Amino acid sequence: MVTAQEPIFPAHHARQRGSRLDHARVFRVRDESVVQANSLSSVLSEFAETMLTDFRIQAILDHLVKRIVDVLPISSAGVTLISPGSAPQYVASSDPAALVFERLQTNLGQGPCWVAYRSGKPVLIPDLAADHSFPRFGPPAVAAGMAAVFSFPMWHGEGRLGSLDLYRDTVGALGADDVAAAQTLANVAAAYLLNAQARQQALEARDRFRENSLHDALTGLPNRVLLAQRLEHAAARAQRSGTMAAVLFADLDRFKQVNDTYGHAVGDQLLIDVGARLASLVRPGDTLARISGDEFVILCEDLTAPDDAERLAARIDRAFAAPFTVAGHELVMTASVGIAYSGPNRAINYQLVNDADVAMYQAKRKGGAAHVIDLRDAASAAQHRDLAADLRAATATGALDLAYQPIVRTTDGRVTGVEALLRWTHPSIGPIPALTAIAVAGHDDLIQHIGAWVLERSCHDQVSWLAAHPETPLELSVNVSVRQLMGRDFAGTVANVLRSTGMNPTALVLEVTEGIFITDVEQTMNVLLDLRALGVRLALDDFGTGYCSLSYLQHFPVDIIKIDQAFTATLGRGPASAAIVAAVTQLAHGLGMTVTAEGVETADQRDELASIGCENAQGFHYARPMTSRDIAARLALAPGHPVHLPQGAGQQPGDYPGSRAGRQQPIPRQRPEPHPQAPWKQG
């Protein structure tokens, strides 16, 4: 609740009635029977203009009561809020005298503001000295200089917030027009307070959202967004000091078996314990982050030699020699560790994390545990060149593939669309994580070629499903990188794909990340408007994990907000996550957008999202990513009828078989999104 700052006012505030006429700020004498319409209109207009601004609530209320003094035949005014079971609270006053009168009613628990609030009717006392309705309030108020008082209830719908109190230092009644104007102003003040309260709650939710977007909800460690920021700071410090940095990427071996054997709760606690043990190993200036699933990253700054990072890797290996005791179970764990060292003349950026990730997978292929692989300088460059050549060959020979993750309506499980996800299986290495493929493609123009291929192939698949099952249309979501979006005539490329495949533009949703907001804003807006002109819809992916300011949502033509799985994963573990998701959902709805939640793993999460009002969701609770043939087979199971997921869905939330009965599946390890230019996602 808004509170007023208490002004300092002189000890000689109590004066006889009429003495203030000799004061330097004598109020203008007006005809007490008529309030000039243009003056009242001016006040209301000024007040209305503040409803959607970021002006401080207190400043606006203070301005309001001062303007009321300008348009009504009174000497001062104040606003008092009253709620059942709590003391009144004065929140605004036009001058020190009004503040004295507001405090007097509050402290005594008696006065016209109380009666106006309780009765819902104005209380009009033109001569307070002759009125005996308030024996405790009247005499001290008269002694303080009050001659007349008029209190008006502040209505909102069927309820009341408090009262608007008008004071005069001379005896006299208000005219009928003045009374009507005062009641209008009281109601307007109530409307603003409600609006301001909602705005304040939204701002607080945004701040919580931002804070949570920088830390892992489970362990409290920095997440990949904060890690990226720390890398930027490390780069700046390294330029000044000439020192180097290293990134260690640690991945738990066989963590999925823990989830499968002991359950999700034990797996979560193990991750918390692993984070705590790793935190005890790092130096004070280092950063330990959990970026996804069972993956931890350590950023080591101010290194003088590679041996510093290697010694830390050895400490990690020794730390895992001791078992973890979780819920009475003794768990022996190991970790595969990859190192990427900045080296002389090498930039410190997120590519270090990608390189360390590649090194970690090499260690895992060698058996994990004590194997530590270090990618640096020439070896790293050579491996990237080899993978880039292999990826280019895979693109040319059709060795890339797509999978599709269903997007489901939360209320009944109906499948409304799918999201295209890239798959690449290397002929000798095996499945390549999307993060690695994107890191490799990011060094070349491959990222645009692959993005274009994903768009054309997925549109072709969607058209083939629709041709076989015209009664069951599915929307198609395709991820677009910042580089691809800002490339030459991207809207023309999309138009050509739509034309060549025959796909309905309204069924295509292009997903962009918050990274578009840090590029050329004018060019970005033009591209997005060109896409909208084609009939294509736009989704803001991974909302809350990047650079998005809420103000951008008012201006950019976004249709869908996709809430990142980092927030979905913590639903049910406390009120904060639900409050954040609810705030984002309400914000999106207020801007005419729909909401899709990513990473839904359990029936409880689904039910929570449905109760909040989130329209759509996707995640392993509904289905794992499927091939195009799998999608076609699902559609063929019930020709002419919509598909529902999971099996048995179609009822209202809470009516699914096993809902809220502990049927939680282990959460499969999901790879993190690349930073921040992914044209596709790992599903």
Q: In terms of pLDDT, which residue wins out, 454 or 370?
A: 454
Of the pLDDT bands very low, low, confident and very high (cuts 50, 70, 90), residue 592 is very high
Asked whether 298 and 288 are in contact (CB, 8 A), the reply is yes
User: Do both 143 and 273 map to the same domain?
Assistant: no
User: 171 lies in a domain?
Assistant: yes
Assess if residue 514 is contained within a domain: no
Structural domain including 252 reads: 216-375
Question: Sorting pLDDT into bands at 50, 70 and 90, what band is 346?
Answer: low
For residue 519, the Cα-to-chain-centroid distance in whole angstroms is: 20
Structure confidence at residue 131 (pLDDT)? 94
Rounded to whole angstroms, the Cα distance separating 181 from 286 reads 63
User: Is 250 contained in some domain?
Assistant: yes
Dihedral pair phi/psi, residue 258, rounded to 5°: -65, -45
- DSSP H/E element including 407: strand 400-409
Residue 92 sits in the same domain as residue 239:
no
pLDDT(363) > 70 = yes
259 and 200 share one domain = no
Contact between residue 319 and residue 349 where contact means Cβ atoms under 8 Å apart: no
In this structure, are 172 and 259 located in the same domain?
no
pLDDT digits 0-9 by tens, 453-491: 999 999 999 999 999 999 988 999 999 988 788 888 899
Domain termination residue (choose one: 148, 183, 205): 205
Q: What is the pLDDT of residue 654?
A: 36
Confidence of residue 547 (pLDDT cuts 50, 70, 90): very low
Residues 61 and 96 in one domain: yes
Do residues 230 and 201 both lie within one domain?
A: no
What pLDDT digit, counting tens, does each position of 96-128 carry?
Answer: 999 899 888 888 888 999 899 989 999 999 999
Regarding whether 254 and 146 lie in a shared domain, the answer is no
pLDDT at residue 146, rounded to an integer: 94
Does position 68 have pLDDT exceeding 70, yes or no? Answer: yes
Confidence grade of residue 545 (pLDDT, cut at 50, 70, 90): low
Tokens linked to 510: 């292009």
Number of domains the chain contains: 2
193 and 232 belong to one structural domain: no
Position 19 scores a pLDDT of 41
- CATH assignment of the domain containing 198: 3.30.450.40
Report yes or no on 347 lying in a domain.
yes
Give the per-residue pLDDT at 465. 96
| Contact yes or no for 162/88 (Cβ under 8 A) | yes
Is residue 395 assigned to a domain?
no
Q: Which of 205, 233, 261 is the last residue of a domain?
A: 205
In terms of Cα–Cα distance, which of 667, 623, 631, 625 is closest to 649?
623
Same domain, 146 and 253: no
Q: Decide if 66 is inside a domain.
A: yes
Residues 236, 124: one domain?
A: no
In this structure, is residue 438 part of a structural domain?
no
pLDDT tens digits for 268-306?
A: 999 999 999 999 988 888 999 999 889 999 999 887 666
Residue 517's pLDDT is what? 66
Residues 6+ apart with CB under 8 A from 207: none
In a domain, 446, yes or no: no
**Region 145-168 average pLDDT:** 90
pLDDT reported for residue 47 = 61
pLDDT confidence of residue 56: 64
Point out the domain boundary residue: 171, 205, 239.
205
pLDDT higher than threshold 80 for residue 254: yes
Question: For residue 556, is pLDDT > 70?
Answer: yes
